[in-house]
Every structure is written in C-alpha cells, then in structure tokens.
Structure 1
Amino acid sequence: MAKSAFFQCLVLCRLISRPLMLSMCVLQVSYVIRDEVEKYNRNGVNALQLDPALNRLFTAGRDSIIRIWSINQHKQDPYIASMEHHTDWVNDIVLCCNGKTLISASSDTTVKVWNAHKGFCMSTLRTHKFLLYSYLL
C-alpha cells in the first residue's frame, strides 16, 4: 500500500468588507502525498464495469482514480493502469461502444469520456453545477 500523508495548514486572510480591521478567517487545505503509481484503491470503490471481451475490470474510486484490472486468473499482478483526470470522487462509470469507450461521472461536476483500451481522457464535459452521482445510457 502506498504511504499517504495528510497536511493541514491554516491561512490568515483579511476580509475585504472590513479593510481597516484585521480579521482572521481559517481555511483548511488538505494535501495527499502518494506514490506516483498507486496500484490499489486508497478509499472506497463506487462503481465497477466489466469488459468480458478483454477480461478487464474497471473500478471507480473515491480517490478520484479509475483503475483497470485484468481478471485473467493466470496473471500474477492484476493491475493494468490508472486513469487520473478527475479531482474528486468518481461516482459512476459506464462502458459503451463495444467496450471502446468508458464514461465517468464525478463529484468534481464533470463527465469524462475515456478511451477504454488505451486509458486516456478524450473529452471533458463541464456543463453541470452540481455533483454527479450516476447516469444511464
């Protein structure tokens, strides 16, 4: 498992509405420091999609990462790749176009269209203002 460290910092800021009085407002900022390639889900998994043609399993994680796994029983290391472009929980994923395309919905209010075979983001839709939990195709 990758070692993660959480840091919190306090930030002092001046309120714009009261320029003569120094006021403190506290912002909490969290950072996650992790390995460059983190094979395993750090938090929960929100959705699964199986591609039986290629024997692959896609997992949508609460760590903002979609991971691709081999379900071939003879493979020693089932991890194939990570798809990282979301900035918040990935809540749902759907395979379409005969397994060539993966679509993901995230709490970062985006829908992303992925090349499921090569693992890269082809398009990002930012038309939502609210969290995306699920969708149907």
Structure 2
Amino acid sequence: MSHSLAAGSPVAFQVLCEEYCYLSNQQALAIGLIANELVTNALKYAFPDGRSGQVVISLKLSDKIELNVRDNGIGATGHEEPKGLGSRIVALLTQQLDGTLSYERIDPGMRVLLRAPLRIDGTGPLPRTGPAANP
C-alpha cells in the first residue's frame, strides 16, 4: 500500500498495541476501517514531493478504546476538520462506536484521536482476561 500512495517516499510505520486486544466484531471492524483510512490520509497528504516521515498508530484498551494516529508530515492547511469522503466515513464509523474524534495539528504533523466506550456486544464493557488483564 505504501508504494502506491506514498509514491516512493520513505515512510516509517510504528504500531503500538497490547499483545492481546479483545473487541467485539463490530468494534474491531470499525476500528480497522478507521485506522486504515487515517493511515491512507497520512500517506496521501502528509508527505508530498517524496518527503520522508513517520506514521505512528497506537491502540489502547481499558474501559474505553483509544486509537491514536499521528504523523510528522506537513500538517493540515486551514482550520476546518477534513471533509472528504474518507473523513465522512471515519465520522460515521465513530458515530457507530458512540465515540468522539479529534483532529489536532502538531508541530510537525497531525494527530487524530478516536475515543469510544469498550463494549463486548453493544450492551456493556468488555471484561478483561488473559495476560493483558494483569499488567
């Protein structure tokens, strides 16, 4: 994917996540689609003209889901949140998760943070089990 979108620019990726992440099917699908769209946007817009950079994706689970995608690219121009098709899809998926989405211009780059309640089947929080439950 990075070859077709980044047009040969060297972009490093770092993924930070617990060894075990337990999500309902609905939440896992939504998180995956949101992460894919945010990374795609970073590759398309953050590193023009063959510029190198880094994209960091982190997923933290507690009583909520926190997905953080940030890059050290050129940042966004203007003061409005993105309004393209991909951004509208991200907004709709965030709504399905009963979450919030925030865009923050950082120096350098952009950070997008999704926060949503963690649910097992849409009815309540997911119980934590396995090695990740006992840090």
**TM-score by shorter chain over 0.5:** no
TM-score (norm 1): 0.26
Q: TM-score scaled by structure 2?
A: 0.26
Query: Which of the pair is proportionally richer in strand?
Result: 1
Structure ranking higher in helix proportion:
2
Structure with the greater alpha carbon radius of gyration? 1
